[in-house]
Amino acid sequence: MKGREKAIVVADIIDNIRRVFQAVNEYSKKAERETGLTGPQLWAIKVVAESGPLKVSELARRMYLHPATVVGVIDRLEGRGLVSRMRSREDRRVVKIELTEQGKTLIVNAPEVAQGLLVRGLETLEHEQLLRMSVDLERLVEILGAQELPPKLLLSSEINLPGRSVPK
Amino acid sequence: MKGREKAIVVADIIDNIRRVFQAVNEYSKKAERETGLTGPQLWAIKVVAESGPLKVSELARRMYLHPATVVGVIDRLEGRGLVSRMRSREDRRVVKIELTEQGKTLIVNAPEVAQGLLVRGLETLEHEQLLRMSVDLERLVEILGAQELPPKLLLSSEINLPGRSVPK
DNA sequence: ACCAGATCGTTTGTGCTCAAATGTTTGGTG
DNA sequence: CACCAAACATTTGAGCACAAACGATCTGGT
């Protein structure tokens, strides 16, 4: 009767999932100490950096966050002079977020976010192992019933790294 | 040259990791609507329910949270009459948290937390698949450098489910 | 030209999370 | 006995996250 073993393996898996959660959080806090920016702030400024001027709603969409949350983040980034708000002339409802010169200089020597670490680590794996892991994670997603969660967004924009290294 | 394919698989993996994060959050919010309690509140009350009266610090440790955070959660649970604080007589610095009768009745028909869903789903998998997934997640943890994160706590208390179902 | 409805950014209110500071109690040590 | 360091819970302050409500603006239909 291998029910017992099974339970142990399940426990291991849950433990490791927890560790992944923890690690991502910890990593975000580490970046905080190095740049003076918090994780979300760094994330936001990176998205703006690589996708030009963005509407607030568009930025929120790319970060999977509520617009109301993003407004606060922008407030603080603007307070530090790293980004600036610009009302659009075609549609005066929208506000475009863009980097200031100060923001551009900061971005070049900002540390990687957790995703970067993850991407680089995964790239060192064999192709077969990658496929395996992809399948397994898909199964996990299936268990959680989260197949369609990010409704086919082009979230690749934040993670895709064409050839080799330097996702920065 | 399969560098391109590799990047695609990596992107898929990252996507699915994100989905797992999202799903756990969403799930916590769903529980919120069904019980009137937030995710952390429900989590805290479940831990107290199965591990008897607990010190604040002990509860914080089991939830991987800062004591200051737990104090706020307890405040709100106490405000709803679900738990009660009791100063220890042996050591008057410590405060024991225990369920009220109202809390006990709530706990029996409270919905599963995300972990429960995960555990039940994993249990339906083949033993081989479980081992595979365990190995893969371990690799993920390794990439994140999070091997020793939860410093060998008896966190099993929240997840172990000896024989079959009923992690509740 | 007007009005109903949608969209956009923002504000407000509640809760979670941590770091740092505070106050209390305990257990030693001089 | 007096003092002091450690342990404990709490408070305070800052940031993040969302729901709900709001004012301003744009759009489509009449």
Taking the C-alpha atoms of residue B16 and residue A139, their distance in angstroms, rounded to an integer, is 9
Give per-residue pLDDT as tens, B110-151.
877 777 778 888 889 999 999 999 899 888 888 887 555 443
Residues A26 and A62 in one domain: no
Please tell me the distance in Å from B147's CA to the nearest CA on chain A: 8
Residues A96 and A129 in one domain: no
Of A9, A14, A121, the CB nearest to B143: A121
CATH of the domain at B137: 1.10.10.10
Contacts of B159 in chain A (CB under 8 A): 10-11, 14-15
Sign of CA dihedral B34, B39, B44, B46: positive
State the pLDDT at residue B121.
86
Taking the C-alpha atoms of residue B56 and residue B71, their distance in angstroms, rounded to an integer, is 7
Q: What is the DSSP string of B103-143?
A: HHHHHHTPPPPHHHHHHHHHHTS-HHHHHHHHHHHHHHHHH
Tally the domains of chain B.
1
CB-defined contacts A:B, below 8 A: 188
Closest residue (CA to C1') to nucleotide C11 in the complex: A68
Residue B44 falls inside a structural domain: yes
Write down which residue in A110, A126, A149 finishes a domain: A110
Sign of CA dihedral A77, A82, A85, A90: negative
Write down which residue in A62, A78, A110 finishes a domain: A110
Alpha-helical runs (H) found in chain A: 3-35, 39-50, 56-63, 67-79, 101-108, 114-123, 127-143, 156-159
State the pLDDT at residue A3.
57
Residue B168 falls inside a structural domain: no
Q: What percent of chain B has pLDDT over 90?
A: 38
Tokens of B73: 């959660």
Residues A98 and A122 in one domain: no
pLDDT at A78 over 90: yes
Pairing between β-strand B83-87 and β-strand B95-99 as defined by DSSP bridges: antiparallel
Of B18, B133, B147, the CB nearest to A136: B133
Write down which residue in A110, A125, A149 finishes a domain: A110
Contacts of A117 in chain B (CB under 8 A): 143-144
Residue B165 falls inside a structural domain: no
Give per-residue pLDDT as tens, A116-132.
778 888 889 899 999 99
Looking at chain A, which residue has its C-alpha nearest residue B152?
Answer: A15
Residue B121 falls inside a structural domain: yes
Contacts of B165 in chain A (CB under 8 A): none
Residue B166 falls inside a structural domain: no
User: Which amino acid appears at position A158 of this protein?
Assistant: E
Any residues with CB less than 8 A from the CB of B88 and at least 6 apart, and which? B55, B94, B95, B96
State the pLDDT at residue A69.
96
State the pLDDT at residue A87.
95
Taking the C-alpha atoms of residue B143 and residue B51, their distance in angstroms, rounded to an integer, is 33
Half-sphere exposure of B131 (CA within 13 A, CB side): 5
Distance from the first to the final alpha carbon of chain A: 51
Tokens of A114: 């957790």
Residue B164 falls inside a structural domain: no
Residue pointed to by tokens 């790293």: A82
Residue B147: phi and psi, rounded to 5, are -55, -40
Q: Can you give the residue range of the structural domain that contains A131?
A: 112-168
Residues A118 and A106 in one domain: no
Residues A99 and A62 in one domain: yes
State the pLDDT at residue B28.
76
Q: Would residue A98 be called left, alpha or beta, if left means φ above 0 and alpha means ψ between -120 and 50 degrees? A: beta
Residues A155 and A99 in one domain: no
Give per-residue pLDDT as tens, B70-105.
999 999 999 999 999 999 999 999 999 999 999 999
Taking the model in full, what pTM does it have?
0.78
Query: Is residue A148 classed as helix, strand or coil in its secondary structure?
Result: coil
pLDDT at A74 over 90: yes
